[in-house]
Amino acid sequence: MPRTRMDDEGPHPVDIHVGTKVKSRRLMLGLSQEELAKSIGLTFQQVQKYERGSNRISVSRLTDISRALKVPVDYFLEGCANVLMNGSGGARKPAMKGVSDTPQATLEPDPMTKRDVLELIRAYEQISTPQLKKQLLEMAKAMAKAGE
């Protein structure tokens, strides 16, 4: 699939997807952008650009990031096919002259990229007693059901 890009189009959906996965995993581990940047020999500004998708991540750099975030490289690529097929990922699809000017529909953002969800997961993972984990899960399910 050829990649076309116009200057005003913004980052490619795959770059946004990979950056979102980097941010999600970083937050899940409780790392700041500065801590991740230091572990891979970059500035936090560069990590910001990667996470937004405004700068592409090379494969060698993605390898460094995967090592720092303790996941395999393919973790960051999970779901890329869906992003390409659905045109989601936060970026606009390339506009074609003579074709509809209406914006493309996008999918809901991945809940795993929300800070409160990541904080909840981190807190849950810190519970060492299996019975307490089970009770918390059951309570959350009951609360969700009551909210329906």
Whether 38 contacts 74, CB under 8 Å: no
Q: Could you tell me which residues come within 8 angstroms of residue 55 by beta carbon, excluding any fewer than 6 positions away?
A: 15, 46, 49
pLDDT, mean of residues 130-140: 93
* 14/87 same-domain check: yes
* 29/63 same-domain check: yes
> What is the number of structural domains in the chain?
2
Whether 13 contacts 84, CB under 8 Å: yes
Predicted pLDDT at 108:
54
Evaluate whether residue 129 is within a structural domain: yes
Whether 36 contacts 47, CB under 8 Å: yes
Evaluate whether residue 49 is within a structural domain: yes
Evaluate whether residue 87 is within a structural domain: yes
* 59/89 same-domain check: yes
Whether 33 contacts 26, CB under 8 Å: yes
Evaluate whether residue 104 is within a structural domain: no
Residue keyed to tokens 């329906």: 148
pLDDT digits (tens, 9 = 90+) for 3-25: 444 455 788 899 999 999 999 89
The sign of the dihedral angle between the CA atoms of 42, 43, 44, 45 is negative
Predicted pLDDT at 3:
47
pLDDT, mean of residues 39-63: 95
* Structural domain of 68: 9-94
SS3 (DSSP) at 105? coil
Evaluate whether residue 53 is within a structural domain: yes
pLDDT digits (tens, 9 = 90+) for 99-118: 333 333 344 566 776 778 88
Evaluate whether residue 2 is within a structural domain: no
Residues 34, 37, 39: CA angle, nearest 5 degrees? 110
Evaluate whether residue 148 is within a structural domain: yes
Q: What dihedral angle (degrees, nearest 10) is formed by the CA atoms of 31, 32, 35, 36?
A: 70
pLDDT digits (tens, 9 = 90+) for 25-38: 998 888 999 999 99
